[in-house]
Amino acid sequence: MEVITKYLEGVPLITVFVVDVGGVRFVVDPGPAALHSPLDVDAVLCTHIHLDHCGSAGHLARPTYVHERYTRHVADPSKLYEASRSVLGVFAEKFGRPLPNEKVAGVPDGARLFDVFDAVHTPGHAPHHVMYYHRDLKTLFVGDGAGVHIPELGAVIPTTPPPFRLDLYLQSLDRLRGLEVDVVCYAHYSCTRDVELLKRHKKQVEAWVEALRGRLDLTVDENLRLLAKEDENVAKVLEAGGLYLDFYLRFSVLGFMEYLRQSASSS
């Protein structure tokens, strides 16, 4: 497996994986349009259609596999791009505008692709999120469905921007229990054999819920500082700053807060 890290403004943005299956080469999450580079691949697997993961698929002009209900947003990404700009602001512009991609195929939950990859629908981060399990390698490509893994900091944090669904996110993590996983490959960032991270991440998410539930009157930054006192992963990212803080951590806390506010107002 070939592992490629793509950088935005000198900071790692996404890890791209190229997998050879019997001479057929697949790329998992090729990255954003702005960081497009030619890849010798035959097909594209997108864990989800967010700009930083699947934005360059149209540039590759190869068959692209995404969740079956969202193929239209890959064939014509104009609405997706505008919606992303409304949520992510300048980051969406930095990721670039995707090209239309007519070579898109829908992936249903439980599908087996090319007799190697099992597709596991794992919403929460996004309704169109799919993880791909390589049965022969016992490797799980988690996209954004199990947090951001930052090796140089020894930290894992949620990646849960609005609109985030906590209930679906936790259910998705539970679905992974039946898989025999030896390696977890994170789009942010790289692979690890520490598969226990998946269990620890679920406990982390549950702890964030308890910590934030009574603090919804505070600002995102105020909650960040309070979470840093309870979660060393947050403290490490807060100290590191930069993209890890501004793109991942702040948007993740905001996603939690908005979900909890909506849950409180509907109960």
Would you say residue 67 has pLDDT above 90? yes
Would you say residue 8 has pLDDT above 90? yes
Mean pLDDT for the stretch of residues 53-67: 98
In b/e form, how buried is each residue of 91-114, taking b as 16+ CB within 10 angstroms? Answer: bbebbbbbbebebbeebeeebebe
User: What is the topology classification, in CATH, of domain 2-196?
Assistant: Metallo-beta-lactamase; Chain A (3.60.15)
Cα 190–193–196 angle (5° rounding)?
A: 110
For the stretch 13-51, pLDDT in tens is: 999 999 999 999 999 999 999 999 999 999 999 999 999
Q: Give the span between the Cα atoms of 96 and 104, in whole angstroms.
A: 19
For the stretch 150-173, pLDDT in tens is: 999 999 999 999 999 999 999 999
What's the confidence (pLDDT) of residue 265?
A: 86
Judge contact between 147 and 173, C-beta under 8 A. no
Q: What is the band of 267 on the pLDDT scale with cuts at 50, 70, 90?
A: low
In b/e form, how buried is each residue of 48-72, taking b as 16+ CB within 10 angstroms? Answer: bbbbbbbbbbbbbebbbbbbbebbe
At 147, list the tokens.
């947090």
Would you say residue 184 has pLDDT above 70? yes
Q: Nearest to residue 162, comparing CAs of 108, 212, 124, 113?
A: 124
Residues contacting residue 99 through CB under 8 Å, at least 6 positions apart: 33, 58, 59, 77
For the stretch 230-261, pLDDT in tens is: 999 999 999 999 999 999 999 999 999 999 99
Report DSSP state, residue 48: -
Q: Give the span between the Cα atoms of 248 and 243, in whole angstroms.
A: 7
The domain locations on the chain are 2-196, 204-266
Cis previous bond, 248, omega within 30: no
Q: Give the span between the Cα atoms of 197 and 174, in whole angstroms.
A: 13
What's the confidence (pLDDT) of residue 266?
A: 81
Would you say residue 194 has pLDDT above 80? yes
Q: Give the span between the Cα atoms of 137 and 133, in whole angstroms.
A: 9
* Residue type, position 71, single letter: T
What's the confidence (pLDDT) of residue 43?
A: 98
More confident residue, 250 or 87: 250
Q: Nearest to residue 137, comparing CAs of 121, 120, 119, 116?
A: 116
Q: Give the span between the Cα atoms of 214 and 211, in whole angstroms.
A: 7
Which ranges in 144-267 belong to alpha helices (H)?
166-175, 197-212, 220-230, 232-240, 242-243, 250-266
